[in-house]
């Protein structure tokens, strides 16, 4: 019987390609705007009738178009990375039969640890051996009654203690 694969959600199938298409559209818009605004700026610079608004405004429009172009490039890279990560998550997801085999291996290892191989296995802290004193009674755990104190007066933000 073929191995069953985990199903992937519809959003994981639809969103990354849609992101890629949208980012390519932004990239194309950025390319077209940059070329058009650069041509308009060159025409304004070569025209004897160009005003300061044409020249300096053209520089600003080229900058905005270049920013849109950069956003499109980054969006394409991020959407391709999203597609790659979504694919690799599915590729590295454990298969049900592999998970069952791993559970069986852990069960076998636990059964081997309970054998007479000289290794003590403690299920919880109640099974642990408590220290015993000379009289056979369990020794009390050592406790510290005094908290650690620092008698130095340190001003906040200073690198040395206040005097």
Would you say residue 52 lies in a domain? yes
Q: How far is CA 39 from the centre of its chain?
A: 42
The tally of CA atoms less than 13 A away on the side-chain side of residue 82 is 18
The pLDDT tens digits of the residues spanning 105-122 come to 666 666 555 555 555 555
pLDDT at 3 over 90: no
Lowest mean pLDDT among 44-53, 64-73, 140-149: 140-149
What pLDDT does residue 25 have?
Answer: 96
The pLDDT tens digits of the residues spanning 56-67 come to 999 999 999 999
What pLDDT does residue 70 have?
Answer: 96
Domain containing residue 14: 10-97
Question: How many structural domains is the chain composed of?
Answer: 1
Average pLDDT over residues 46-56: 90
Would you say residue 132 lies in a domain? no
Would you say residue 63 lies in a domain? yes
% of residues, the chain, pLDDT over 70: 51
Cα–Cα distances (Å) from 147 to 1, 143, 144, 150, in that order, read: 65, 11, 7, 10
Would you say residue 90 lies in a domain? yes
Evaluate if pTM is beyond 0.75: no
Would you say residue 154 lies in a domain? no
The pLDDT tens digits of the residues spanning 92-107 come to 766 666 666 666 766 6
H or E element: which one contains 78? helix 52-92
Would you say residue 103 lies in a domain? no
Provide the token pair at 2. 């073929």
């Amino acid at each position: 019987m073929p191995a069953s694969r985990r199903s992937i959600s519809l959003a994981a199938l639809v969103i990354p390609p849609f992101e890629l298409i949208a980012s390519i559209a932004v990239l194309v818009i950025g390319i077209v705007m940059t070329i058009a605004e650069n041509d308009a700026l060159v025409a304004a610079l070569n025209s004897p009738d160009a005003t300061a608004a044409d020249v300096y405004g053209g520089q600003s429009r080229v900058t905005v178009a270049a920013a849109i172009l950069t956003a499109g490039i980054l969006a394409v890279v991020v959407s391709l990375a999203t597609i790659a990560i979504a694919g690799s998550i599915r590729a590295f997801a454990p298969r049900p039969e592999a998970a069952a085999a791993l559970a069986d291996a852990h069960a076998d290892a636990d059964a081997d640890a309970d054998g007479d191989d000289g290794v003590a296995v403690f299920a919880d802290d109640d099974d642990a051996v408590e220290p015993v004193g000379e009289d056979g009674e369990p020794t009390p755990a050592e406790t510290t009654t005094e908290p650690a104190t620092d008698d130095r007066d340190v001003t906040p933000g200073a690198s040395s203690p206040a005097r």
